[in-house]
Structures are given as structure tokens and as C-alpha cells.
Structure 1
Amino acid sequence: MLFLTLMLKLVFGLIALLVTVRLLGKKTLSQATSFDLVYMLVLGGILAQSIYDTRVTLFHLISAIAVWGLMVYGIQVVVRQKEHARTTIKGSPAMLFVDGKMQVQSFIDTNMEVEQFRSLLREQNIFCLENVELAILETSGRLSVITKGEPIQKLSYLLVNTGEYVEKDLGQLQDKEETRKVLQEAGYDNVRDIFCALWSSEYGLYLVPYPESEHKKNPAE
């Protein structure tokens, strides 16, 4: 009896996975949003907990899958028909670069780190922020980029990140005091006023300050 119950759970579990994939639509995994991944993980958790737990009957499993599937399907219907619901649940693309300028507030709102952004750029063979004309963070987490200028195949070094010196990259170029002087020459006495600063042999210093409302008041370190 236990063997039969286990087999039935596996069969209905497979059917549930097939139905969920159909609800997800004809997307590749890279196109799935965080919401899509969450409800797939929850479904996997339901199956994993129920298959070997003898206290969970086949009826319980079918009921849980049916309720979860109906909720997911209902949400999918709503997000297809209502723009506000779609952006609230699945999010919307974020403009990280516009007209060659870094949009600091978008980086803050999306919790996108400068080093993480540079890593995504390097995956597309872009090594300098000066070569970025437009960058959009898609809801799937992928980065869409339009470049400008002649691409430079040389690494740039992150000197300041979110108002703090980056010791790792500083050590490859100059010490903190030398960097402080370079920033002062650029008009910034307080490192905490700077969202990011990079250095490349081709372009020199690339500096992006915080928006005026985000300026820090602590003295430079």
C-alpha cells in the first residue's frame, strides 16, 4: 500500500510539474522572473515534503497542488490584463544608463552593485563604463546594453564604491592618499559624496557622484 501511494504521488507530481510549465508559458529559464522561480520552488517544496511523508495522503497532495496551481493561474491572468498588477508582482525594467550617464537612483532602487554591473558588462565583452550608452536591467535579471565609441579591451579599476575606497583595486594603481588627491582635483573633498569612481589607462578617471539628496556628511577617510 505504501509503495502504491508513493507511485501515485510521483505520477501526480509529474503531472503537476507539466501543468505548471504550461502555466509559465513558452519561456526559457533565463526569461523567467523572480515570481516565476518562486512559485516553481514552492511547488517543488510541496512535492518533496509530501512524497515520503506518510501523514500526507494523496488527497492532501492533490488538494495542495490544485489550490497552488489555481492561485498561480489567477495571478497570471491578472498580470496579463492589468499593467499595475504586472509591474507590482513581476517588476519592470530599470534604466541603469541613459544617454551614457549612470542613473545612480536606479542602481540604489534595484540594489545593483557597481561591481555586479561591471561583471554583467564583462560577460558582453564591455570593459569600460565609458562605452555604455544605454543599459537596461530586465525583469529576468539580464542586462541589455547599447554601446558607444570604440570598445576598449582593457580592464578599468574600481577606486571608490558607494562612498568608500576599494582597497583591492587601489593596490594595483596607487595608495589611498594619491587617490584622495585625484578626487580633490576633480572637486570632491569627501569620498562619501561619490557613488563610484573608476580608473582606466585609456579614459583616466570616471567619477559618478551621489545625487544631491544622497550626499554623505562624514569626512573623507
Structure 2
Amino acid sequence: MLFDSWDDLLRVLVMAGLAYLILIAAVRASGKRALSKMNAFDLVVTVALGSTLATILLNRQVALLEGAAALGMLVALQFLTAWASVRSGGVRRLVKAEPTVLLYQGRMLRDAMKAQRVAPDEMRQAIRAQGVGAVEDVQAVVLETDGSFSVIPRSQYGSGTALDNVRRSHLDPA
């Protein structure tokens, strides 16, 4: 139960080192976006990479080159999907969520907050983290596609705003 053989242990150690190098090479080859903040799609790919790596290490039935091919294919598919989402709005909508305005002109948008499962205290925490003392001093709080909050103080809001890619229907306070 605790130990089968030295051969098995040696195999895991060698496979771990080699598979780790292959994974690092694949992630580096895919570019900086592979290491950026994750949206839901990126998280799924990351979990799949981890599961594949574990299978390579622990399953004697999977050869190193088979595992390397699987890792490479996952990274290539993630790269292809990211490439396509930059060039196609349909692909982008399929794999990425839209940012959601949760507060606009100092007023909390309760329906949007409920839909995104965000409590008022979480939004207040995000506002405080930006050094803003009053909710009324905030033009907008946006829940970004990676789950982070963006806080735009009224003093920094202007035309040509960062809210341009957010649907206007989200901006009507309820």
C-alpha cells in the first residue's frame, strides 16, 4: 500500500521531470496569454492539463510521447480558440463571458448582482480596495470576465469610456 517497488518510484520521478519540461515548453510556446488571468474557459483547459499530467505520471499504460501529444494538443486547441476569439465575435461570445455592470452612478444594480451572485458587501470591499470611501463617488463597478472587480470613480469617468464594450441595457439602474 505504501510502496510497491523501486522501479515504480523511479518511473514516476523520471516521468515527472520529463513531463514537467514538456508542459513548460508547451505553455511557453503558446504565448503570454496562457499565463494571464483566467476566464472560465482557461480554467477548464488548466484543469485538463493538470489531469493529463497526472495521468502521464501515474498510469503505466500511457507512454511519455502519448502524454506529450495530449498536452500539446490541449495547448494547441487553447491557442487556436484564443486566436479565433480575437478574430470572431461569435467564437468570443461562445467561450468568454461578458463583463457585467453591478453598480452605475452610485446605485447598485440589484438584478445584475443577483444574476452574478455578488453580495453588496463584496462590492463595497472592491470599492474600498480602490481607496474610494463612498459608494456615491463611484461611476461604475464592473464584474470582469475573470471574476475580478473594476471600480471606476466618478472623478476618472469621461467620454470614450472603458464601459464602451458593456451592453447599455446593463447600465439602467433598477
TM-score normalised to the size of structure 2? Answer: 0.69
Determine the structure 2 residue equivalent to 1:108.
114
Deviation track 1:187-215 (CA, whole Å, cap 9, x = no partner) reads xxxxxxxxxxxxxxxxxxxxxxx95xxxx
Q: Describe the SS at the equivalent of 2:117.
A: coil
| Structure ranking higher on relative contact order (CA contacts 8 Å, 6+ apart) | 2
Q: Distance in 1 between matches of 2:96 and 2:31?
A: 13
Which one-letter code corresponds to 1:88 in the other structure?
A: L
- Contact kept in structure 2, 1:9 and 1:61, CA below 8 Å: no
Structure 1 or 2, whichever has the larger Rg, is 1
Residue 23 (str. 1) matches residue 27 (str. 2): no
Gaps of 5+ in 1: 150-209, 212-221
Which one-letter code corresponds to 2:60 in the other structure?
A: T
In the TM superposition, residue 133 of structure 1 has moved relative to its aligned partner by: 1.6
Change (3 A) 1:69 1:28: closer
Q: Give the length in aligned residue pairs.
A: 150
Determine the structure 2 residue equivalent to 1:172.
none
**Higher relative strand content:** 1
In the TM superposition, residue 22 of structure 1 has moved relative to its aligned partner by: 4.1
Q: Which of the residues 46, 66, 85 maps onto 2:91?
A: 85
Q: Distance in 2 between matches of 1:69 and 1:26?
A: 11
- Contact kept in structure 1, 2:12 and 2:58, CA below 8 Å: no
In the TM superposition, residue 26 of structure 1 has moved relative to its aligned partner by: 4.7
Change (3 A) 1:55 1:87: same
> Alignment RMSD, CA only?
2.8
Deviation track 1:4-29 (CA, whole Å, cap 9, x = no partner) reads 67525532432223322442525764
**Higher relative helix content:** 2
- Contact kept in structure 2, 1:133 and 1:146, CA below 8 Å: yes
Change (3 A) 1:135 1:17: same
Q: Describe the SS at the equivalent of 2:61.
A: coil
- Contact kept in structure 2, 1:90 and 1:139, CA below 8 Å: yes
TM-score normalised to the size of structure 1? Answer: 0.56
